[in-house]
Amino acid sequence: MPGAEDRLAGRVVGLALRPPGSAAPVASTHVLACAGTGLVGDRHADARSPRQVLLAASAAYGELGLAPLALRENILVDVDVARLPSGSLLRIGAHAILRLSFQCEACGALERQRLGLARALGTRRGMLASVATGGEIRLGDPVRILAQRLPALAEDWRTRVLQVLAAVPEGMVVDYALLARLAGIQSSYCRAFPRLLGRPWPRRQGAAGANAAPCSEGRDSAAALGWRRLARCAARRLGAGRLNPGSSLIRRAC
């Protein structure tokens, strides 16, 4: 049952999946959301990523005269999702609940459809989300904004990278590819990691760095931390050797 302060915001007007190996989304009348993973059968279903589902607003299609599925969304709604804050929870249909992560950047794929489309869209591409509670989603299902809200994720990808690194548990080694997935960014951003993680702060050297104390700051809210505190926290992780650019494995201390 909807909560007393939950409100009906709109309805689902379009659904699509991008099967593995498919370059374009395929329209559907229903999809199955799997908690913590994404949409069953979609190439972006990933338990380690906050960008499992793309929601877009139908208004952008009318305003820009776009062809169906031009924004490559999974769920099209008659709700201006780009104006909703990160951490918002949307109940779609009877059971599925999506947690809004951050805005989806306008990528080069849009430019190949129409020159200048990315600039024209601005921040209206849509919102990326993860699946908090699973359930079936069908065309016409109601979209409710829940009163409860979870902690927000940073819009700036650099801050998200530092937040992830600051929260790495003791004994874990993370490679660049996994760091990108956890931060919800494209793998092409890995090329910027050496500069981001190597320049703003010095690495700790010697035995003291190898035995750095656990970083409690990584457990605090992103708003309270700020860039510099995140950077110091990430630096201690780097000094403790917990980021391995070339490793393809994650190791945990037992």
**109-144 burial string, b = 16+ CB within 10 Å, else e?**
ebeeeeeebbeebeebbbbbbbbbebbebeeebebb
Q: What is the mean pLDDT of residues 160-169?
A: 85
Tokens of 58: 């139908």
CATH 2.40.33.20 fits 7-149, yes or no: yes
For the segment 63-115, what is each residue's pLDDT rounded down to a tens digit? 888 888 888 899 999 999 988 999 999 999 999 999 999 998 877 677 677 77
Q: What is the pLDDT of residue 17?
A: 97
* Beta bridge pairs of residue 243: 174
* 5-58 residue pLDDT tens: 689 899 999 999 999 988 789 999 999 999 999 999 999 999 999 999 999 999
Residue 167 gets which letter from DSSP? T
Do the beta carbons of residue 196 and residue 230 sit within 8 Å? no
CA–CA dist 120, 43 (Å, integer): 27
Q: Is the pLDDT of residue 171 over 90?
A: no
**Structure confidence by residue, pLDDT tens digits, 212-251:** 323 333 334 443 444 455 555 555 554 444 444 443 333 3
pLDDT bucket at 202, cuts 50 / 70 / 90: very low
Supply the pLDDT for residue 132: 97
**Per-residue confidence (pLDDT) for residue 108, from 0 to 100:** 65
* Confidence at residue 191, expressed as pLDDT on a 0 to 100 scale: 87
For residue 205, the model assigns a pLDDT of 36
Cα 58 to the center of its chain, rounded Å: 21
Q: What are phi and psi of 218, to 5 degrees?
A: -65, -15
- Which pLDDT score is estimated for 125? 82
Write the pLDDT tens digit of every residue in 115-155: 777 777 777 788 999 999 999 999 999 999 999 999 999 99
Locate the domains of the chain by residue range.
7-149, 157-239
Confidence at residue 176, expressed as pLDDT on a 0 to 100 scale: 87
Per-residue pLDDT at 96 = 97
Whether the CB-CB separation of 93 and 135 falls below 8 Å is answered with yes
As a whole number, mean pLDDT of residues 182-191 equals: 88
Q: Looking at residue 134, what is its pLDDT? A: 97
CB atoms under 10 Å from CB of 28, counted, come to 17
Query: What pLDDT, on the 0 to 100 scale, is given for residue 169?
Result: 80
pLDDT of residue 231: 52
Higher pLDDT among residues 187 and 10, named by residue:
10
What is the pLDDT at residue 219? 38
